[in-house]
Structure 1
């Protein structure tokens, strides 16, 4: 049988044909099978084509309360030859701005998705439904994903069908996903991490149980109680929440959990070691990448226990190098800008050729905003971001180093560090640390500063420590440093 092009949607068709009755995604207590998902995607395709959708048209799809609605609309868009633009449903104004920026032909918000699947789709057995449509080729754009905008204006990252297939293939190869896997997904489906888990399940023929984030840890605990669950995908803060609110249940599930995939945000080395001790039999996998080059590195907490300060080694087919600001390669062990070559690389930024050009070197590498170093074993260690570095009297401070030192202190649940102008006018900038603490910790800023003094160099020590109730983060767990700066400005004016 001809499987068609090497794309994710081709894998969905293959599984619908070969494993049609196998469960794919949970809808409450009911399972949507691969055959049902393929039928739904073909019906969405028909609905879009009746609205004169042309190849390359943009379809904005908001994450729905019903995960299978979102997934069927996503693959139906691909089958129609259109470009999927996934967005978060809870940010209606932001979704409308994305629709305007991409000149979307269709905007499927939650209400539109509900109406579509409640009755607007043609019946499953309607004779006009083509259940064997032409499949997209690897080269055309499949998705436009907008970056979180935590450090500036969100950019629309264009990813080809080939790129998203390559990222999923590399992830499955590292984790070892197969059709026997049933995974609890706690990350938003409309973001790069969540979309990656959908694609990985399609390629592997596995199944997904989607829960609405870690805001409701009890739902995650309930999902993990299913004896058929073999995997969990989570951001580092999500794992920390599970350890606090469902430690016993997570420990019970650990006897069955074959793997956990972590990503989207940094994780302190000690927390990696702690999790490895807590889950000694579970394969703990963490990926590093960006929306522009997903899943570029992988780390296995148990297998790479001597290199847990790193983010792992490059995925198959991925090349990394460290350069100075003029793109000159640096020697092993030297710190500089991380540059990537990957089959999962973006095709460019939506309607922004100038920024796209700025991300490419003359010899074809993708520049990142991350700073790091490579060791002689090929392991990559992150040392900060170009735009986050704090300049204290000419000495550079990586805010992540300050945050991880704070997180090692008992009672501190989360931390965020930003650089602000030195009020004394002596050093240019100083670090300011925000912390979220456990209610019963008896937190005192002076005591915290004394403990940090033993862990940090003098120029790295925060000039101020501010306790806040919750740390501002994106849905994918990334720290919103700009919001911390705004909070500081408001506090200083009060």
Structure 2
């Protein structure tokens, strides 16, 4: 059994050297070629002084070289620090200052976008295009290297499974970005957990429609490469038609995307899903919650596929898994603990609660990170005295062991003592109004009675306005009265992270600013509606840019 991340690739290369490993925009790299590139880059990194524990920041948009550079860093004993695609200069500066890399692997096109890299003295700049690449020079000898031979050639004989392999930065939706230090054991175990559940094999040809710089995308790459399958990716921006062309042209039988990626298809592009449906056998969805009506649509379009969705964090990847067809009666949950993973729900004193009791979700397993990079305080605050990693998410386990996710601990809305899940409200509202983007947050009760009330914030691309009366009529049979949104606010756009996640805290802050600017209007509407006996939904009509 492999102990190190790059050993998974090496084993597949030895078994299937001529098999396509990575296809990017039509350019094919076999396993022998990918291993060749990894070995060459690893040797150059060792010559540059990269050894056990040294960080290498990888800032590359070209996905084949990106993967080779990540694996090469690990093979050299270093810790890979992927720079997320489309990072703004301030973000790159943060990654540089926090991770203090010895080497930055990049390309000249990247330095044009990030002038700060020119003349940088803190780290050595290495351009991948300057490292010769002749895949045919590898020959049969390299494709059949044993693990021991590989280590000797690279010089990384001292690498152990508990050594750091990668630092992934959190998206920052809940505050400052944190560097998550993942060991070889963490990454290998997560890969094995996912593959044990999904059952993919060497026949897998998967279109990965998410950035490889993120936990989900790199995770899918590891899973497919570990079994000797083929991944299909693109360096460009994708739209539904382009994605379907890649899937069709390369005869992909597997597909991985985030919920927002699938949402692009629903509506005017649904016919495209029908075109690829017969060839798809595996699907994985992750990174954010998916609305129930979208799950049901996937079941309709892919009746023969194994549709899997996970819940996890950068710190604890794929902690639960669910397969939609086989677990249809539990499709409104995030599944049960993945193989080799334990999950409990804790009260504020870190004591386990009973089934169906709400508390903080905690995870334990070899896939869970051991520490945050340079942040001992955060590491300690997220650990219970029994070694559980406290996720900061609230939810409950039902009697059958399925996990129900309610939202982030700080996002749960306490309205008159009733705990309201923003995710539950968002899912229900999105199923009724699929053409809008929604975000539910807690806001001060204009009537100063309930403390907090749910506030519906939404973005409508076509300028459509949602009124309190319309919302009440749509939700009255679906949501309990004490959970009904009391405030509606239309945004021009939501504040988001670089990878497209809504920053809920910023939405809440902007909403409160808008309410302060016009307090009498929202309070008056609240009182008038309350006097007529209707749920007092206040409409705040101002826009936040």
Superposition TM-score tier, normalisation by shorter sequence: over 0.9
CA shift digits 1:255-305 (9 cap, x unpaired)? 110011001111223332232123211111001111111111110100000
Superposed displacement of residue 112, structure 1: 7.1
Superposed displacement of residue 247, structure 1: 1.3
Superposed displacement of residue 110, structure 1: 4.6
CA distance in 2, matches of 1:164, 1:213: 27
Q: Secondary structure at the match of 2:279?
A: coil
CA distance in 2, matches of 1:101, 1:440: 42
**Equivalence for 2:54:** 57
Structure 1, 228-237 or 271-280: larger mean CA deviation: 271-280
1:83 aligns with 2:79: yes
Taking structure 2 as the reference length, the TM-score comes to 0.84
* Higher-Rg member (1/2): 2
CA shift digits 1:2-39 (9 cap, x unpaired)? x7x42221011112222111111113222011111111
Equivalent residue in structure 2 for 1:279, among 291, 294, 302: 302
Q: Judging changes above 3 Å, is the alpha-carbon distance between structure 1 residues 307 and 6 closer, same or farther for their aligned structure 2 residues?
A: same
CA distance in 1, matches of 2:357, 2:236: 38
**Equivalence for 1:484:** 507
1:118 aligns with 2:115: no
How is 1:30-429 mapped onto 2 (pairs within 5 angstroms)?
30-64=27-61, 66-91=62-87, 92-111=89-108, 116-121=127-132, 125=137, 132-133=153-154, 134=156, 136-211=159-234, 216-226=239-249, 228-429=251-452
Asked if the contact 1:180/1:206 (under 8 Å) is kept, the reply is yes
CA distance in 1, matches of 2:128, 2:394: 46
Superposed displacement of residue 113, structure 1: 7.1
Superposed displacement of residue 442, structure 1: 7.2
CA distance in 1, matches of 2:226, 2:455: 45
Q: Judging changes above 3 Å, is the alpha-carbon distance between structure 1 residues 371 and 126 closer, same or farther for their aligned structure 2 residues?
A: closer
Q: Secondary structure at the match of 1:243?
A: coil
CA distance in 1, matches of 2:181, 2:457: 35
Q: Secondary structure at the match of 2:249?
A: coil
Structure 1 residue runs of 5 or longer lacking an equivalent are: none
Q: Judging changes above 3 Å, is the alpha-carbon distance between structure 1 residues 243 and 126 closer, same or farther for their aligned structure 2 residues?
A: closer
Asked if the contact 1:139/1:161 (under 8 Å) is kept, the reply is yes
Asked if the contact 1:340/1:366 (under 8 Å) is kept, the reply is yes
Structure 2 residue runs of 5 or longer lacking an equivalent are: 112-125, 143-148, 518-541
**Equivalence for 2:535:** none
Asked if the contact 2:241/2:272 (under 8 Å) is kept, the reply is no
Taking structure 1 as the reference length, the TM-score comes to 0.92
CA distance in 2, matches of 1:469, 1:260: 33
Asked if the contact 1:406/1:412 (under 8 Å) is kept, the reply is no
CA distance in 2, matches of 1:254, 1:357: 46
